[in-house]
């Protein structure tokens, strides 16, 4: 269905009582932050109305708790300056939008359309400008609500973003002992440098991107793990097998082969917190991750042994991001910048065809209880990236939703692939799993 949204109010929510004389007026972004793309990360939470509170009372509750938690996460109320190198912690405030939808929430959940869900966010993902955080609260006719949160990727990765969201929720429900106090010292560990010649917007596109949601039930995931694990003592993980499966079906359905001279890559983010020596504290706020790049040794066909081999290859590339790798990033980042420039150049020239995966699996996305229960559903949205897959656990935690962003022509072939359809449910009702 086509979703109609009416904006009812817009305002800036400021920290309630932060003393500017005792906290830094600038937050310097780290080298890792500098390397992050200028986009918003979308988090979209759906909630039943389990209270007798009015829309205004729930809105006031969300805004007042946001104002309080911004005292701890104060850079999110500032503005990004100097070409994305520093955040002015000036308490300008968080962009907060309220809206009403012309339907019941069940109409969205019965047939969720990823390309319509963007209307529940107050931004376009590629139009970050200088704002670190945006929020939209949308009320449905039934009393349910959707909370759309956009965090600038220039300030944090998904794990840091969820630390903020869940700390905000903990304050809202009165469990202040569950709030995590953030540290904003990442730039001391990874000092910023001059990246003027590196375009971090490479890959962002505004045209012809279609997003589809595919759900892999537990039985399908386990079947693929069995197929692609080969004779390994350590079985392939869920994300490993789904990455290989989705990429192989994309290659087969869109008739890509290795005769074009192009280089195909599979890209996965790797959390650096436990790769470093010593570990980086869990409360450190920022982009504490880098990407593994796997160049498949062959264009795999229907052979499961080849897919198992690609799982091994991906795993080996991820292993390379270790304590030695992290130390090199901290001490001499020139080699890494040269590699990124080469990758960006190859992408722009059409020599490299990248397929990127990001995963929120096992992340605490369903813990965001603002006082009226945990979310009914947590969703992604349409992203402005070609060949991007986002994995999210189903609410039960045993299946995986794959939100896949492809060129329109590629998607029409991909979603009709018979082998793919053997393993997925294409955009099933959310109500089936939450009723």
Alpha-carbon distance 28 to 231, whole Å? 48
The three-state secondary structure class of 228 is helix
Alpha-carbon distance 87 to 110, whole Å? 41
Q: Which DSSP symbol is given to 27? A: E
Active site residue 369: yes
Cα 414 to the chain's mean position, in Å?
A: 22
Q: In this structure, what token pair is assigned to residue 192?
A: 């910023």
Q: Which DSSP symbol is given to 179? A: P
Q: Which DSSP symbol is given to 284? A: B
Kindly give the residue spans of alpha helices, DSSP state H, lying in 94-157.
105-110, 114-117
Annotated catalytic residue within 369, 398, 407, 417: 369
Q: How many CA atoms lie within 13 A of 123 on its CB side?
A: 29
Neighbours of 76 (CB within 10 A): 27
Q: How many CA atoms lie within 13 A of 319 on its CB side?
A: 6
CB-based contacts of 108: which residues, under 8 Å, 6+ apart?
A: 1, 3, 46, 101, 116, 117, 140, 146
Annotated catalytic residue within 153, 157, 393, 410: 153
Q: How far is CA 150 from CA 66, 132, 134, in A?
A: 14, 8, 5
Alpha-carbon distance 79 to 90, whole Å? 7
Backbone angles phi, psi at 195, to 5 degrees: -120, 30
Q: Which residues form the catalytic set?
A: 153, 369
């Amino acid at each position: 269905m086509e979703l109609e949204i009416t904006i009812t109010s817009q305002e800036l929510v400021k920290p309630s009582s932060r003393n500017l004389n005792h906290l830094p007026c600038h937050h310097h972004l780290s080298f890792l932050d500098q390397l992050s793309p200028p986009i918003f990360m979308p988090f979209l939470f759906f909630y039943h109305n389990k209270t007798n509170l009015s829309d205004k009372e729930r809105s006031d509750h969300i805004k007042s708790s946001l104002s309080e938690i911004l005292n701890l996460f104060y850079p999110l109320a500032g503005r990004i300056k100097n070409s994305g190198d520093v955040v002015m912690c000036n308490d300008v405030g968080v962009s907060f939008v309220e809206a009403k939808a012309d339907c019941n929430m069940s109409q969205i959940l019965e047939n969720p359309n990823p390309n319509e869900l963007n209307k529940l966010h107050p931004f376009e993902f590629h139009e970050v400008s200088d704002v670190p955080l945006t929020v939209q609260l949308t009320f449905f006719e039934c009393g349910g609500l959707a909370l759309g949160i956009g965090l600038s990727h220039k300030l944090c990765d998904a794990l840091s973003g969820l630390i903020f969201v869940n700390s905000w929720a903990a304050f809202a429900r009165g469990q202040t002992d569950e709030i995590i106090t953030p540290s904003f010292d990442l730039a001391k560990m990874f000092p910023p440098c001059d990246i003027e010649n590196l375009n971090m917007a490479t890959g962002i596109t505004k045209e012809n991107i279609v997003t589809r949601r595919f759900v892999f039930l537990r039985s399908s995931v386990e079947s693929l793990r069995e197929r692609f694990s080969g004779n390994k003592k350590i079985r392939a993980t869920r994300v490993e097998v789904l990455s290989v499966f989705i990429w192989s079906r994309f290659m087969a359905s869109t008739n890509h082969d290795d005769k074009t001279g192009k280089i195909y890559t599979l890209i996965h983010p790797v959390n650096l917190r436990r790769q470093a020596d010593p570990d980086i504290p869990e409360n450190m706020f920022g982009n504490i991750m880098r990407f593994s790049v796997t160049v498949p040794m062959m264009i795999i066909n229907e052979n499961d042994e080849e897919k198992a081999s690609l799982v091994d290859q991906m795993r080996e590339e991820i292993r390379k991001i270790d304590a030695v790798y992290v130390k090199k990033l901290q001490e001499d980042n020139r080699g890494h910048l040269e590699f990124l420039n080469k990758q960006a150049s190859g992408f722009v020239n059409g020599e490299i065809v990248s397929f990127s995966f990001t995963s929120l699996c096992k992340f605490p996305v369903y813990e965001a209880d603002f006082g009226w229960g945990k979310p009914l559903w947590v969703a992604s949205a349409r992203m402005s990236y070609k060949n991007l897959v986002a994995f999210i656990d189903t609410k039960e935690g045993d299946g995986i939703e794959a939100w896949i962003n492809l060129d329109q022509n590629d998607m029409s072939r991909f979603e009709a692939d018979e082998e793919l359809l053997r393993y997925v449910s294409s955009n099933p009702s959310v109500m089936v799993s939450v009723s």
